[in-house]
Every structure is written in structure tokens, then in C-alpha cells.
Amino acid sequence: MAAKIKKNDTVLVITGRERGKRGKVARIFPETNRAVVEGINIVKRHARPRGLGQPGGIIEKEAALHLSNLMLVCSKCDHPVRVGFTHLEDGSKVRICRRCGEVVE
């Protein structure tokens, strides 16, 4: 199955407490349909010390969001859009913006 959202895409969070925020996708977990977005969904984790190099304490990090809660932001029209797929003349499959029809890189 082709991925509608990929690493380095700009996305908009459409549901949840972070609704309305934009960010860049840092990681994708295709097996669980989740993505980590930079600066979004910050959670606190309590870590115990692991030797001299890693002190303990409360660490803030980004947690994964489900892909259904994210919408791709088109680089051409700068709006959150649905993603479609089409084949180019050379036979390669590409993502397209359903709003303006342009190819999404």
C-alpha cells in the first residue's frame, strides 16, 4: 500500500488536544499507522539514571500520533488536503493534491 503521509511532509493535526497545529513528520511507523511530528504531542517521561552519561529526571519528548489524525499540507496551495495517486508518463506512481491537482513531492 502506498503511503499518503511520508517523512519530512508538513502536516496539520485535525483532532485531539493539538488540533490546528502544523509540524514536520520526523518518523513514520507503518506497522501501527502512527507518526511522530516535530514539536507536537509532547509528553513527559520519568527516566531513571543509567550511569554517568545519562542522568535521571523528567524527559519531554514527542509521542506518536495516529495517521488518521493528520492531514497533509500541500506545498503549492498551502492548505490541508486529501491525497490522491496517479501514474506519470514514465510509469511512476506519485501523490497528488486533491484540491489543486499538483504533484506533492
The CATH number of the domain where 88 resides is what?
2.30.30.30
- 68's CB contacts (< 8 A; 6+ apart) are 33
Residues 21 and 1: beta-carbon distance below 8 Å: no
Overall number of domains in the chain: 1
Identify the pLDDT of residue 17. 93
Q: List phi, psi (to 5°) of 97.
A: -80, 130
pLDDT at residue 53, rounded to an integer: 87
Q: List Cβ neighbours of 91 (8 Å cut-off, separation of 6 or more).
A: none
Residue 50's domain comprises 10-104
Q: What angle do CA 4, 60, 51 make, to 5 degrees?
A: 120
pTM of the model: 0.85
Dihedral sign of CA atoms 31, 34, 39, 44 in order = negative
Judge whether 72 lies within some domain: yes
User: pLDDT 10s per residue in the chain (105 long)?
Assistant: 568 999 999 999 999 999 999 999 999 999 999 999 999 999 999 999 998 888 899 999 999 999 999 999 999 999 999 999 999 999 999 999 999 999 998
